[in-house]
Each structure stands twice: as structure tokens, then as C-alpha cells.
Amino acid sequence: MGAADAQLVTPDQVEVLVSMEPAVLRETEAHKERRNLWFPNDLVRADTNAPAEWDEQIIEVRRAARELPDSVRVAVAVNLLTEEGLPHFHRLIAVHFGESSPWVTWNNMWTAEEDRHGCALRDYVRDARLFEMGALERLQYSYIEAGFDPEWESDPYRLLAYTSLQEKATQISHANTGRTAGTTEPLLRRVLGHLAGDESRHYVFYREMFNEILARDPNRALNSLQKVVSNFSMPGHRIAGFDEMSEVVRRANIFGPRQYQQIVEECLDYWKVSELTGLSGEGNEAQDKLMKVPKRLARMADYVESKSAPRKFRFDFAYDRELTI
Ligand SMILES: [Fe+2]
Ligand SMILES: [Fe+2]
């Protein structure tokens, strides 16, 4: 890490990140062992050498895709826009890690993997004719143009807490969208299954990194985690119409407060947050607040689910049809 980066993080955080480099190396290697590198063209063929049956298959995919419920269309739109925006998080992550270190190697590899997610999903929606594509492209353009500004306040601990939660959230969102779509159109489930697999491995990496931070600097780590957990929004929260899209996704049982609560619980368990001892006053306070979060999220999930009389929605990318859910 170069001296120029020190202005972005306080010195002791830089020291913590530098001291973690052997762990970053170890977990990057473990990730490469676990992954099976795949490419969008393995899933949605685009070359003249594609077998002749592919042309027939894609006609069948297009036919079946017309039968998909519009709630699936909305979920795929959120997932696609999010994925296409994710490589732009590269910059936000890169500012913390300087020019050359195991962190940079990881970040570059992660960005390359995420980039294929947007590509694979876009190839699919294009070939399956899932959307009113011009409307989706306009939405994507304005989303990226608006830029990204997560509230990390140059705190690398918050970044790593956020990426832990976010990777798990996208894993669940892809997997549940695929499951909902799968009986109608299996290729979509296959594409989303590949994405979900990558996200679960990314989650393992970031969760491990945050664990290393907790072991080295528990008080500040808990404080950062508490801020992220109680103020979490998905990477795509600045997409125009995101609230309505999220509401559809929640009502379709794909992703909402219930799933978020499960993620938080799983992370707090994994990091053994309740068992941490010898904390400072600030650390204790953050720990107490964190341990109350799952119950609060469960109440919130109960509340929104109890008020779910069917609602009407309409999205121009989903052919401006009325969607009741
Ligand atoms: Fe992804
Ligand atoms: Fe990911």
C-alpha cells in the first residue's frame, strides 16, 4: 500500500489491512481452488460454431420466456442492473488498496468475475427477448450516470462488512429468482445458478476478511459493522423506481426484509459477535446494538408481510403491462 493511500484511512486501519495480506493471499488461492471459471458464451452461445440445435433451443427459450411472470421480469431487471453496476464498485474498493498488494490482485479478479455476471445476464435477456430493451437500457444508463456513493466514509472496515452482506444478498436474490423462473424457463435458472455460485464464493472471501478484522481490531470493527447493518441498502438502491421494484421482488418471495434478517443472523453467528469479550465501552455498545438487530428485522418482516394486500405495478421495461401481486 502506497503512502498516498494513508490519507484515505487512519493509520491503524492501514496497518490492520497490511497485516491481513497473508490472509488475503491464502483466501484468494482458496477461492481459485473452489471456483470453476466459466464464461457467458458457455451458457448463451454467440458464435457461428454453436451447435445447430442451439438455434432451435433459443427459439424455445424465447417462447417459454414469454410465459414468465412479470414479477420474475422485475427481479431479473434488478439483478441485471445491479450486476452491470458492480464493476464500478471496483473504483470504490480500489481507493483503499493502492497500486500493488494481494488486495489489488483480489479486487481485479473479483471485478473480472462480476463483469461476467452482467454480461451473461444481458446476453440472456437479449436473446430471450425478456424486456422492452430500450426502456431497460435507458434505466441502466441513468443508474450508472448517477454514480455510486455508499456511506462508507472512507472506512475500509465498512466496505468489507458491506461486501459480506451484499454478496450473500445477491446470492439469495439470484438463486430465488432462478428457482421461481426455472419451471417455466430452465436456461434462466441455469444462468442465475452460475451467478449465485460465484456470489456464494465471494461471500466466503469477504466474510473471512471481516473475521480477520474482528480478530485484530474488534472495537472499531463492531462499530463499523453496526453502522453497515442498520443502514444497509442494496447496490442498486439508486436505480429509478427501485422502491417499487424491490416491493415486487419482496412480494414474489425473492428478496426482502425476511431474507436480509437471515443474512444478518448468519453473519453475526459466524463472526461469534455475541461471544466477543474484553471490549471497550464503544465496542460493547456496538455489540449490544448488533445483537438486537435480528429481532428488530424479524418484527419488520412480520409487519410488511401482514400488510400485503395485492397491489398493482407497472414498469415500462416489462412492456408497461399491469402487474398485480
Ligand atoms: Fe455478481
Ligand atoms: Fe459477487
SS3 194: helix
CATH for 207: 1.10.620.20
DSSP E strands, the chain: 312-314, 322-324
| Residue 9 pLDDT class (50, 70, 90 cuts) | low
Q: Is residue 325 part of a domain?
A: no
Q: Is residue 4 part of a domain?
A: no
Q: Is residue 160 part of a domain?
A: yes
Total of domains in the chain: 1
When the pLDDT of each residue in the chain is averaged and rounded to a whole number, the result is 92
**pLDDT digits over 285-316, tens only?**
999 999 999 999 999 999 999 987 999 999 99
pLDDT at 147: 83
User: Is residue 92 scored above 70 in pLDDT?
Assistant: yes
Which amino acid is residue 177, in one-letter code? T
Q: How far apart are CA 162 and CA 232, in angstroms?
A: 8
How far is CA 36 from each of CA 194, 219, 264, rounded to the nearest angstrom?
10, 37, 28
Known binding-site residues equal 83, 114, 117, 167, 199, 202
**pLDDT digits over 17-40, tens only?**
999 999 999 999 999 999 999 999
Q: How far apart are CA 180 and CA 68, in angstroms?
A: 9
User: Is residue 255 scored above 90 in pLDDT?
Assistant: yes
- Separation of CA 52 and ligand 1 centre (Å): 30
Residue 246 lies in domain: 10-46+54-315
Known binding-site residues for Fe cation equal 83, 114, 117, 167, 199, 202
- Separation of CA 38 and ligand 1 centre (Å): 13
Q: Is residue 324 part of a domain?
A: no
- Separation of CA 98 and ligand 1 centre (Å): 23
**Full 3-state SS string of 99-143:** CCCHHHHHHHHHHHHHHHHHHHHHHHHHHHCCCCHHHHHHHHHHH
Q: Is residue 214 part of a domain?
A: yes
Q: How far apart are CA 76 and CA 177, in angstroms?
A: 7
| Residue 1 pLDDT class (50, 70, 90 cuts) | very low
pLDDT at 103: 93
Instruction: Among the bound ligands, name the one nearest to the CA of residue 203.
Output: 2
Q: Is residue 249 part of a domain?
A: yes
| Residue 91 pLDDT class (50, 70, 90 cuts) | confident
- Separation of CA 170 and ligand 1 centre (Å): 7
- Separation of CA 287 and ligand 1 centre (Å): 30
pLDDT at 11: 62
Q: Is residue 118 part of a domain?
A: yes
- Separation of CA 281 and ligand 1 centre (Å): 37
